[in-house]
Amino acid sequence: MKQLKISKTNSQVRFRVRLRPRSGRNRIAGIEGGRLKIEVAAAPVDNKANRELIKLLSKKLRLPRRSIIIRLGATSRDKLIGVNGLSPGELLRRLQITK
């Protein structure tokens, strides 16, 4: 079974994302190599794809956008995401991923 690798710091839950910009729609496409695969319709120009990523995660996790931070990889498809205010178990539950 594919599992999302999650780490926890004092104030954040962190996980890796593989972003695919310019896809047909915004969606979580699954898990691959311990990373969440996410597709967004926006192009990776002027930070548009990153904004769509944050918007999608905010909606899915039911958190304000300011609670979701791109820690690493702002200009890469591979990103490290930090989320404030959730436990690892709650993150998986809200993403509808079982461990």
- Give, for all 99 residues of the chain, the pLDDT tens digit: 478 999 999 889 999 999 999 998 999 999 999 999 999 999 999 999 999 999 999 999 999 999 999 999 999 999 999 999 999 999 999 998 755
In this prediction the pTM is 0.92
Instruction: Give the range of the structural domain holding residue 10, as residue numbers without chain letter.
Output: 6-95
82 falls within a domain: yes
Q: Would you say residue 12 lies in a domain?
A: yes
Instruction: Say if strands 78-84 and 68-72 run parallel, antiparallel, or are unpaired.
Output: antiparallel
Q: Is the dihedral of CA 42, 14, 4, 86 positive or negative?
A: negative
CA separation for the pair 28, 56 (Å, rounded): 9
CATH number for position 22: 3.30.1200.10
Give the rounded distance of the alpha carbon of 27 from its chain centre. 10
Query: Contact, 53 vs 69, CB < 8 A?
Result: no
Asked if residue 16 is part of any domain, the answer here is yes
